[in-house]
């Protein structure tokens, strides 16, 4: 078997645990491949993806801020990626084939504590939020998008409405109001991510015990938001589960093999403890 190189493109990427996770998966399955981090600025995205194909790389993961733009640069895309309007996994075996494994990752993470939600509030409207919203569309009666720039929130809300999901959008200053009758809060923004660990998208006073709080940030594993949620008696989901599940799905796409999900999860936890 030929050795292939895989990697993550984004800006920033230095915080990522994907190399530890994917290299553990390759090793566990006795595959000769390697996974690396590639710091790519917005203006170089097209060159980076085409260059990866020209250099015969096996595939890529795509992170902030490139997920939506990457969709347009793929020559083929999965149905889910088109619906979400974002790509986080690219397979380079034949064409430049884009997928959205965030959807599967989010669905597996968010349906663990509870299968159905009355009202989900999502903070953020970028590529990750799109994946999460599509994952939730069959599991939440209503989805409210809260974002700093209302235009992006409106676009995402309209996307959900086209999928026959009841959806609305609000500016950031309406978050406390929207949380009062919500049973799920998801942070899809980088707020609270290392090194800005003292930041949160909201105050403790806006949270309540009937909420399930899911933070996509996984470094630190327990963000300020999750600590606030625990203090009011709310259930929490950290970002590791979504990271692992979407990574396992990427591995499957690239290698056509069953991912060693437990080993991948162990690798992430091991790294976070350091």
List, as residue ranges, the binding site for NADP(+). 79, 124-128, 147-152, 216, 239
Annotated catalytic residue 67: yes
CA gap 212, 111 in Å, rounded: 11
Angle between helices 102-110 and 127-136 (to 10 degrees): 50
136: number of Cβ within 10 Å: 22
Backbone angles phi, psi at 80, to 5 degrees: -65, -40
Backbone angles phi, psi at 161, to 5 degrees: -60, -35
Residue list for the binding site: 16-18, 63, 79, 88, 102, 124-128, 147-152, 216, 218, 239, 246
CA gap 106, 89 in Å, rounded: 14
Asked whether the beta carbons of 107 and 85 are under 8 A apart, the reply is: no
Among 132, 13, 12, CA closest to 83: 132
Residue list for the binding site for shikimate: 16-18, 63, 88, 102, 218, 246
Catalytic residue among 67, 107, 108, 224: 67
Backbone angles phi, psi at 22, to 5 degrees: -75, -35
Per the structure block, which two tokens stand in for 145? 């998008």
Angle 140-110-251 from CA coordinates, rounded to 5°: 125
Instruction: Give the residue numbers annotated as catalytic, written as ranges.
Output: 67
């Amino acid at each position: 078997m030929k050795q292939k190189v895989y990697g993550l493109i984004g800006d920033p990427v230095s915080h990522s645990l994907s190399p530890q996770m994917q290299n553990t998966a390759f090793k566990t399955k006795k595959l000769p491949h390697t996974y690396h981090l590639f710091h790519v600025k917005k203006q170089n995205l097209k060159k980076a993806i085409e260059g990866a194909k020209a250099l015969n790389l096996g595939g890529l993961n795509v992170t902030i801020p490139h997920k939506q733009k990457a969709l347009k640069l793929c020559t083929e895309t999965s149905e889910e990626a088109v619906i979400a309007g974002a790509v986080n996994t690219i397979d380079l075996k034949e064409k430049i084939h884009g997928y959205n494994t965030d959807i599967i990752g989010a669905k597996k993470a968010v349906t663990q504590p509870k299968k159905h939600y009355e009202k989900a509030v999502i903070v953020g409207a970028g590529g990750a939020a799109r994946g999460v919203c599509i994952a939730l569309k069959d599991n939440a009666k209503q989805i409210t998008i809260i974002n700093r720039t209302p235009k992006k929130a409106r676009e995402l809300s309209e996307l959900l409405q086209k999928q026959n999901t009841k959806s609305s959008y609000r500016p950031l200053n309406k978050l406390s109001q929207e949380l009062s009758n919500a049973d799920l809060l998801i942070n899809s923004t980088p707020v609270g991510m290392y090194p800005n660990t003292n930041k949160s998208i909201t105050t403790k006073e806006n949270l309540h015990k009937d909420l399930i709080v899911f933070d996509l940030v996984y470094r630190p594993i327990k963000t300020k938001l999750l600590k606030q949620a625990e203090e009011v008696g709310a259930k929490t989901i950290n970002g590791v589960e979504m990271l692992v599940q979407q990574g396992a799905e990427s591995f499957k796409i690239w290698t056509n093999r069953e991912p060693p999900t437990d080993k991948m999860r162990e690798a992430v936890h091991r790294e976070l403890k350091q």
